[in-house]
Amino acid sequence: MSYERPSSVRPRGESPTLSDETLERNRERSKQYYAMHRDKVLAKLKSKYAQKREAETKAYYEKHRCFFESYFKVDVPTTTRELPSTRGNESTTALSTQERTTAAGPLDLSFILN
């Protein structure tokens, strides 16, 4: 026993075919709405564009994250380690600055220029 789908049932994900009259009526309705709400429509388009562009940029960065981190030596802001010091905060800032300058790799710009 095989089951045959009736001809009136569309496959999943397929949109219905609209007649020319329906398409024209939809176009006219869209034009009227745009004419009445032009500022609102443009504001929404701009915000959607900005959101999509930001998402694309973030996705591109995530896709090539390994390359960016290794080649450009992206420094993630870290908190300075608190060391017990007798002279105050001067030694901790000097130590963290010294650590940053000695950590230059062969692809780091400071390594190339020095």
Predicted confidence pLDDT, tens digits, the chain (114 residues): 566 766 667 778 788 889 999 999 999 999 999 999 999 999 999 999 999 999 999 999 889 888 877 777 755 555 555 555 555 555 555 555 555 555 556 677 776 776
Taking the C-alpha atoms of residue 35 and residue 37, their distance in angstroms, rounded to an integer, is 6
Asked whether the whole model's pTM tops 0.75, one would answer no
pLDDT given for residue 5 in this prediction: 65
CA distances from 65 to 12, 52, 59, 60, 114 (A): 37, 19, 10, 8, 27
pLDDT given for residue 2 in this prediction: 62
With vertex at residue 21, the alpha carbon angle to CA 17 and CA 22, rounded to the nearest 5 degrees, is: 55
